[in-house]
Amino acid sequence: MEARRRENKLKLADESVKASDALPLPLYLTNAFFFTLFFSVVYFLLLRWREKIRNSTPLHVVTVSDIAAVLTFVASFIYLLGFFGIGFVQSIIIPRAPLEDVTDDEDEISDFDRLMVKEDSPKIPCAAAAPKSDYLKIEKIEVTDEQDEEIVKSVVEGKIPSYALESKLGDCRRAAAIRREALQRITGKSLEGLPLNGFDYESILGQCCEMPVGYVQIPVGIAGPLLLDEHEYSVPMATTEGCLVASTNRGCKAIYASGGATSSLYRDAMTRAPVVRFPSAKRAAELKLFLEDPLNFETLSMVFNSSSRFGRLQSIKCAIAGKNLYIRFSCSTGDAMGMNMVSKGVQNTLDFLNNQFPDMDVMGISGNYCSDKKPAAVNWIEGRGKSVVCEAVITGDVVKKVLKTDVASLVELNMLKNLTGSAMAGALGGFNAHASNIVSAIYIATGQDPAQNIESSHCITMMEAVNDGKDLHVSVTMPCIEVGTVGGGTQLASQSACLNLLGVKGANKEAPGSNARLLATIVAGAVLAGELSLMSAIAAGQLVKSHMKYNRSNKDVASMKS
């Protein structure tokens, strides 16, 4: 209704302008003419009226000039009423905001609305605005269109909020182009090099990124085949770190040549831990005992699970701090990474608990005992997301030929670096060489939340000589791999293509959750490959050499050699 009312107002405003354009004389001359006519005729009729009263002539006795005067009076009155009267009445009923005052896109007719009506662009959601393939066809980057130029100016002047461009224009790519141009003018800095075209801005609207001005390009390399649990995977890695893909690829080669790696997923539970407060520590302890009593688990899980088809409560663990209780809910989440899902279940359970513990105050749905995107021992010890252990036996031959080192050196280095060295550093889950390198690269390629790389990279790498010291047993244990194949960035075109490459795109209809679980094992398998290769490079003293080769220009390498 509001939108229609505003549209009508705008149409009326536009029509008045068009009517004046159609006049034979300029507007001010036409108005002067009708004003003169109107007042002359009124003057003439008043004189005639006075004359008739003086001569006692009946008023209905009229001459031709009287009739002509009355007709002219009516005509000029209608013109003046039409021109000023309606506009005046309209301005009282629907006051038009001065352009300078426009800040709220919902309540006022803005500059922006005016431009939009002129352009006749539909105010429809971006997703419905244009066929998906269209964004690829648009080549121009500069804002050249006249209306766009006006909108850019309004954004620069603060008359149009930048965040409202998508909803108002109904064209996400155009909104990004206008915002980008406005940003360049406001900051005086060029965005040349940050591409605008070739991206589907509709796909991120309302879920992945607000106020886009372009996108960052990150190359995707492929490591593999990774032979894991008797399947081969080509692992996509989005990175700008030279050596990383090559190194992981070498690890994959070593694993492949040794018969492959084996993985086991031993826990699947995303966590969320609200903080609640009681009037006394005693009451907080009472809730802890209630929540951890196995007899209450069934009821609590029924309440928790009712919020989702896929979320299933696994356990509840509480930590008490005086009057405050931190309740860590763990829940399997199907193919979703699960933060939204677990939060909904937690909210349901807190509502239920409030009936039984009316003196419980929910201080925050997240109390950092979860613990999301922060290094915390609770994750390292209890796990978060998917917990996976992955192992392989690399034959001595392969260690020598592919990894260019030997079993004893690798075992010794692992003990000194990944175990003792990390212990000396007071590491928290960082008992590895570079798990986060592989985790981050796969996360970015497959649309995971890269911030969760913090706990997802918790990993202990173990190496042991087996088969009378001839071969190497290597394993990575990763308790917090937080991945999903639905939701978040996973549905974007590029990321979804990478998931597709791994055969884990989207929701698994037959066995919900198995796509996300498989992805977690692939992450661990790739980390195993990465650990093997980097550890071997260090053991063989190759680290500096290979970095020089891949990270520096040939010129630099040549000068290093000389």
User: Among 364, 325, 373, 320, which Cα is nearest to 346's?
Assistant: 364
Pick 333 or 387: Cβ nearer ligand ADP:
333
Taking contact as CB under 6 A, which single stretch among the options 332-340, 371-379, 382-390, 408-416 is the one that binds ligand ADP? 332-340
Q: Is 106 a catalytic residue?
A: no
Please state the three-class secondary structure of 406-431 as a single string. Answer: CHHHHHHHHHHHHHHHHHHCCCCCEE
Cβ atoms of 186 and 167 within 8 Å: the answer is no
User: Among 305, 290, 336, which Cα is nearest to 447's?
Assistant: 336
Report the greatest alpha carbon distance in the chain: 141
CA-CA distances (angstroms) from residue 158 to 121, 142, 174, 180, 182? 22, 20, 18, 14, 10
Q: Considering the rule CB under 6 A, would residue 340 count as an interface residue with ligand ADP?
A: yes
Q: Is 7 a catalytic residue?
A: no
Cβ atoms of 279 and 323 within 8 Å: the answer is yes
Pick 212 or 487: Cβ nearer ligand ADP:
487
Q: Is 107 a catalytic residue?
A: no
Pick 418 or 485: Cβ nearer ligand ADP:
485
Number of neighbours of residue 85 by Cβ within 10 angstroms: 12
Taking contact as CB under 6 A, which single stretch among the options 72-80, 313-321, 403-411, 484-492 is the one that binds ligand ADP? 484-492
Pick 260 or 338: Cβ nearer ligand ADP:
338
Enumerate residues 94-153 that contact ligand ADP by CB under 6 A. none
**Least gap, CB of 193 to ligand ADP (angstroms):** 32
Please identify which residue in the block is written with the tokens 């193919």: 335
Q: Is 298 a catalytic residue?
A: no
User: Among 482, 528, 505, 291, which Cα is nearest to 373's?
Assistant: 482
What's the gap between Cα 386 and its chain centre?
23
Pick 115 or 342: Cβ nearer ligand ADP:
342
Q: Considering the rule CB under 6 A, would residue 449 count as an interface residue with ligand ADP?
A: no
CA-CA distances (angstroms) from residue 27 to 32, 76, 94? 9, 15, 24
Backbone angles phi, psi at 465, to 5 degrees: -80, 135
Q: What residue spans of 188-261 are helical by DSSP H?
A: 244-257
**Least gap, CB of 91 to ligand ADP (angstroms):** 48
Residue of 339, 376, 441, 532 that binds ligand ADP (CB under 6 A): 339
Cβ atoms of 312 and 342 within 8 Å: the answer is no
**Least gap, CB of 306 to ligand ADP (angstroms):** 13
Q: Are strands 459-466 and 430-431 parallel, antiparallel or unpaired?
A: parallel
Pick 113 or 372: Cβ nearer ligand ADP:
372
Q: Considering the rule CB under 6 A, would residue 309 count as an interface residue with ligand ADP?
A: yes
Residue of 155, 486, 504, 522 that binds ligand ADP (CB under 6 A): 486
Q: Name every residue whose Cβ is closer than 8 Å to that of residue 423 and which is 6 or more positions away in sequence.
A: 431
Residues 359-398: x where in contact with ligand ADP by CB under 6 A, - otherwise, as a string: ----------------------------------------
Residue of 148, 181, 335, 406 that binds ligand ADP (CB under 6 A): 335
Pick 308 or 461: Cβ nearer ligand ADP:
308
Pick 225 or 512: Cβ nearer ligand ADP:
512
Residue of 225, 408, 488, 550 that binds ligand ADP (CB under 6 A): 488
User: Among 429, 432, 431, 449, which Cα is nearest to 440's?
Assistant: 449
Pick 296 or 514: Cβ nearer ligand ADP:
514
Q: Name every residue whose Cβ is closer than 8 Å to that of residue 124 and which is 6 or more positions away in sequence.
A: 170
Pick 382 or 449: Cβ nearer ligand ADP:
449
Q: What residue spans of 416-485 are helical by DSSP H?
A: 422-424, 435-446, 453-456
Number of neighbours of residue 144 by Cβ within 10 angstroms: 10
Taking contact as CB under 6 A, which single stretch among the options 94-102, 339-347, 440-448, 450-458 is the one that binds ligand ADP? 339-347
Catalytic residue among 66, 119, 241, 286: 241
Pick 432 or 446: Cβ nearer ligand ADP:
446
Catalytic residue among 449, 455, 482, 531: 449
Residue type, 78: I
**Least gap, CB of 521 to ligand ADP (angstroms):** 17
Residue of 341, 353, 498, 522 that binds ligand ADP (CB under 6 A): 341
Total interface residues for ligand ADP by CB under 6 A: 18
- Cβ burial of 252 (10 Å; 0-12, 13-18, 19+) is buried
**Least gap, CB of 516 to ligand ADP (angstroms):** 7
Taking contact as CB under 6 A, which single stretch among the options 181-189, 386-394, 460-468, 483-491 is the one that binds ligand ADP? 483-491
Q: Are strands 220-228 and 361-364 parallel, antiparallel or unpaired?
A: unpaired
Residue of 220, 331, 337, 524 that binds ligand ADP (CB under 6 A): 337
Residue of 336, 403, 407, 442 that binds ligand ADP (CB under 6 A): 336
Taking contact as CB under 6 A, which single stretch among the options 28-36, 276-284, 291-299, 506-514 is the one that binds ligand ADP? 506-514
Catalytic residue among 153, 159, 404, 547: 547
Positive or negative CA dihedral for 391, 438, 546, 252? positive
Cβ atoms of 308 and 301 within 8 Å: the answer is no
- Cβ burial of 331 (10 Å; 0-12, 13-18, 19+) is buried
Q: Considering the rule CB under 6 A, would residue 268 count as an interface residue with ligand ADP?
A: no
Q: Name every residue whose Cβ is closer than 8 Å to that of residue 498 and which is 6 or more positions away in sequence.
A: 220, 236, 238, 445, 446, 447
Q: Considering the rule CB under 6 A, would residue 487 count as an interface residue with ligand ADP?
A: yes
Catalytic residue among 373, 417, 473, 549: 373
Residue of 62, 507, 540, 543 that binds ligand ADP (CB under 6 A): 507
Q: Name every residue whose Cβ is closer than 8 Å to that of residue 386 and which is 6 or more positions away in sequence.
A: 265, 267, 268, 481, 482, 483, 516, 517, 520
Residues of this chain that interact with ligand ADP (CB under 6 A) are: 309-310, 333-341, 484, 486-488, 507-508, 512
Residues with a catalytic annotation lie at: 241, 373, 449, 547
